[in-house]
Structure 1
Amino acid sequence: MTFDFLLHLLPQTFVVLLWIVVTPSLYHVHVNAIQKNQLNRCDFSNGKWVVDDPHYPLYDPSSDCPFIVQGFDCLRNGRIDQDYLKYRWKPFDCDVPRFDGVKFLEKYRGKKITFVGDSISDNMWQSLTCMLHIALPKSNYTLTRKTKHLSMFSFPEYEVSITWVKDGYLVDTVRDKKKGRILKLDSIGSKKSWNGDVLIFNTYHWWFHTGKIPTIFQLGNEIKESMDKMEAFKIGLTTWSNWIDSNIDPSKTSVIFQGIAAAHAGENYCMGKTEPEEGRKPSYPGVEIVKNVLSNMKNDVYWLDITLQTQLRIDGHPSIYTGLGTCYEDCSHWCLAGAPDTWNEILYAVLLGV
């Protein structure tokens, strides 16, 4: 069963993210200063997973967060082992601050936070909504999925909305009945829904997985039936970066880019894995491209680098607990509660400067 098939079954769902916020602008991404918090200079990207049984998970997905989609809800789908819920990310030279949902909502009262990306973006969006909901369980909320490409969660009490816009490539795409999906690598001309006080962009996985619909590329007027996908990803991400530099006012908005979340398909299938791995990991494909593209932008960007975290969390995937039965193993997405909660803890630290 292909990854595309799961995406059709979970239209709410999908890996590189960016945030745009009405706060003092964050430091510019440089190759020698990547993912450093502007205020405390903490490198959140390097560390290890440690057991923190008293404090994790941050919420009970069975009772505290009733709106998790089926594909991420591993406990309800029958996962018996629960040690994967109890790990905290410990950077080597600092600690990730505890998430305070009330402070977060107060900070962004009256604001709009928008995730734009694939189903890993959805993973993080749903994690954030759970973490905010459990902070104020008696506060009213609304959850609407207006289309298969737009989902919105809001807290009327704070006038805060948290939106996910499904857009796996970020560049313009068109469907051709004969040729399939055409990615216009140098074009972003119809992204009017990219708005909010916080924008969170993500793209990676869709560039590399295969499905029933063939994908071809277009540069200018030239159609490329065959092209190296990593090169296509680089061109597309550069197009996105140019759009940010041309359309975002850094005096009013700040940008955060979520890095690549590692998948474990292939030689290291995730089935039966019950604890994180340890030690160093080889450089993950695409990370150098992200680093180089961001370092050449003129706008300030914060790279939320989650690659090593996710490389080590082979135990954190839904595996066969997607609700689809044992015929499908998902080693790309993440169980909730789980690893995406750490991404939002880091987000909290960066945005609130704690």
Structure 2
Amino acid sequence: MKQNWLKSVYNQNQFVFKLGLTVMLVGLGLIFLLSQSSNEIPNIFHNGINSHVVDTDDLVESVKDLSQIHQKDNGTEKCDIFDGEWVPNLGSLAYTNNTCKWIESHQNCMENGRTDIGYMYWKWKPKACELLRFDAKKFLEMMRDQSWAFVGDSIIRNQFHSFICLISQVEEAVVLYHDDEYHDQKWRFPTHNLTVSVIWSPFLAKSDVFEDKNGVSSPDIHVHVDILDKIWTEQYHTWDYILFSCGKWFTKPTFYYERNSILGCHACEGKHTDLGIDFAYRKTLKSLFRYIIESNHKATIFYRTATPDHFENGTWSTGGTCDRTVPANEGEFELTYFDRILQEVELQEVSKVEAEAFIKGLKVKLLDVMKLSLLRPDGHPGPLRQFDPFAKDKKAKVQYDCLHWCLPGPIDYWNDLLMNMVVNG
């Protein structure tokens, strides 16, 4: 059906283009015949008013304009907002740590002592178009009486706080709820009756897991790949827009269950089969998307890709660091083995559900931030998860965070992309 409709639109565009071109060529011929002795077009419809002198070059340009419209209508000119580069930003920041009081302390890099500011003054520029900055006023008007939810791991919470900071430049947010660890939160922008929630569900599936404030998780993680986490499923039908994301937690040592029986594991020792992260991640995404399709809830769903870290000379737990102050060049950083697996699974599974959702009148879209994030090793808190960690000892060994993102920083452009996807349908 969709292909027949597209073919019909294409044929109509072809007919309109050919008709317009024919009319203009006939006009050019008439003009030529009537203007053999003059460079000006005679007034052939004299009505007592000076007629406009038409330049034949204008008509030629009109034909070109019509041709360009024809090309665009047939989809030959497209803009992939996820394919671009970082360029210097000479404009002002959307917000600062002084104008947004909602930045979590371990992502408030300037407050914690970061002295270089250049990392904040770059913008993402798609190759074929301009990316509109997040317009909080316009967004609030569009989202009157709506509800949003960010569901996933601590990086989704990182993006959530960027989202809150961007909107709060126009209207102050009111906190309605938070749990003791501030993992789960609900906010409201009262003038527009917009509610925004964040739900911590690092696997999106039922799991036995714990994480402390320093990002250290429990050693034994158990995940049921066929049972979604009820902390978000019980609220799912109350949301109009939902952004899901997970991925990084699947790289941790984990035991996998299906139908309450153990299937195997990842990076475990013992008698269980190591199934790898692609097996569990794919199973979980299939469960998620099956739930979305079968629920028939008419929300707009976004799935954000997993994001790269930029640890060098080690990892989170082995002393890895990230001290860069400028964006990387194309090809300077490569996706890790695990990140490549995560992205492959995401692209495949989201592509499948997008097609199925379209048929059922549902909206499921991919927010692909992998490439633009890979080029920003300078955007992480690094050693500045705490305030002035080297105050007492310049050589102190501190935990580097090369996974989460400074606010403000590159992560704000994830929400620029998100807003463009909402505004452009």
TM-score (norm 1): 0.80
Distance across 2 between alignment mates of 1:282 and 1:180: 30
2:379 to 293, 298, 316: 316
Tell me the CA shift for residue 238 of structure 1: 1.5
- How do 1:124-203 residues align onto structure 2 when only pairs under 5 Å count? 124-136=159-171, 139=172, 141-142=174-175, 144-148=177-181, 149-174=183-208, 180-188=220-228, 190=230, 191-194=233-236, 195-203=238-246
Conserved 8 A contact 2:148-2:195: yes
Distance across 1 between alignment mates of 2:120 and 2:250: 30
Q: SS at the partner of 1:339? A: coil
Residues 1:208 and 2:251 aligned together: yes
1:339 to 410, 421, 425: 410
Residues 1:290 and 2:329 aligned together: no
Tell me the CA shift for residue 282 of structure 1: 4.5
Q: SS at the partner of 1:255? A: strand
Evaluate the alpha carbon distance shift between residue 140 and residue 152 of structure 1 in structure 2; reply closer, same or farther with a 3 A threshold. Answer: closer
Conserved 8 A contact 2:226-2:283: yes
Distance across 2 between alignment mates of 1:87 and 1:101: 20
Alignment match, 2:289: 241
Conserved 8 A contact 2:311-2:322: no
Instruction: List gaps (5 residues or longer) in structure 2.
Output: 1-74, 211-218, 265-271, 315-319, 358-362, 390-396
Alignment match, 1:14: none
Tell me the CA shift for residue 142 of structure 1: 3.0
Evaluate the alpha carbon distance shift between residue 232 and residue 267 of structure 1 in structure 2; reply closer, same or farther with a 3 A threshold. Answer: farther
Distance across 2 between alignment mates of 1:189 and 1:143: 22
2:324 to 269, 273, 296: 273
Instruction: List gaps (5 residues or longer) in structure 1.
Output: 1-37
Distance across 2 between alignment mates of 1:97 and 1:279: 23
Distance across 1 between alignment mates of 2:220 and 2:170: 45
1:59 to 85, 90, 95: 95
Q: Give the letter aligned to residue 168 of structure 1.
A: P
Alignment match, 1:69: 104
Distance across 1 between alignment mates of 2:127 and 2:248: 28
Alignment match, 1:351: 422
Residues 1:256 and 2:307 aligned together: no
Q: SS at the partner of 1:186? A: strand
Tell me the CA shift for residue 267 of structure 1: 4.4
Tell me the CA shift for residue 180 of structure 1: 3.7
Q: Give the letter aligned to residue 246 of structure 2.
A: T
Distance across 2 between alignment mates of 1:331 and 1:143: 31
Residues 1:219 and 2:255 aligned together: no
Tell me the CA shift for residue 293 of structure 1: 0.6
Evaluate the alpha carbon distance shift between residue 274 and residue 189 of structure 1 in structure 2; reply closer, same or farther with a 3 A threshold. Answer: closer
Q: Give the letter aligned to residue 306 of structure 2.
A: I
- How do 1:79-94 residues align onto structure 2 when only pairs under 5 Å count? 79-94=114-129
Conserved 8 A contact 1:46-1:308: yes
- How do 1:10-25 residues align onto structure 2 when only pairs under 5 Å count? none
Distance across 1 between alignment mates of 2:209 and 2:305: 28
Alignment match, 1:34: none
Deviations 1:37-78 (A, max 9, x none): x9x9431111111111323x31111x1111211111001111
Deviations 1:178-210 (A, max 9, x none): x94320011226221334111111111111135
Distance across 2 between alignment mates of 1:174 and 1:140: 32
TM-score (norm 2): 0.67
Residues 1:101 and 2:136 aligned together: yes
Q: SS at the partner of 2:165? A: helix
Alignment match, 2:280: 232
Say which one has the larger Rg: 2
**Sequence identity of aligned pairs in percent?**
25
Alignment match, 2:67: none
Please state which structure has a larger fraction of its residues in helix.
2
The number of equivalent residue pairs is: 305
Tell me the CA shift for residue 262 of structure 1: 1.0
Distance across 2 between alignment mates of 1:232 and 1:44: 30
Conserved 8 A contact 1:270-1:314: no
Tell me the CA shift for residue 342 of structure 1: 0.3
Evaluate the alpha carbon distance shift between residue 242 and residue 140 of structure 1 in structure 2; reply closer, same or farther with a 3 A threshold. Answer: closer
Conserved 8 A contact 2:78-2:128: no
Conserved 8 A contact 1:115-1:165: yes
Tell me the CA shift for residue 315 of structure 1: 0.3
80-89 or 227-236, which deviates more: 227-236
Conserved 8 A contact 2:312-2:322: no
Q: Give the letter aligned to residue 165 of structure 1.
A: I
Distance across 1 between alignment mates of 2:96 and 2:225: 42
Tell me the CA shift for residue 98 of structure 1: 2.1
Tell me the CA shift for residue 235 of structure 1: 1.3
Distance across 1 between alignment mates of 2:87 and 2:176: 33
Evaluate the alpha carbon distance shift between residue 289 and residue 318 of structure 1 in structure 2; reply closer, same or farther with a 3 A threshold. Answer: same
Conserved 8 A contact 1:270-1:317: no
Alignment match, 1:11: none
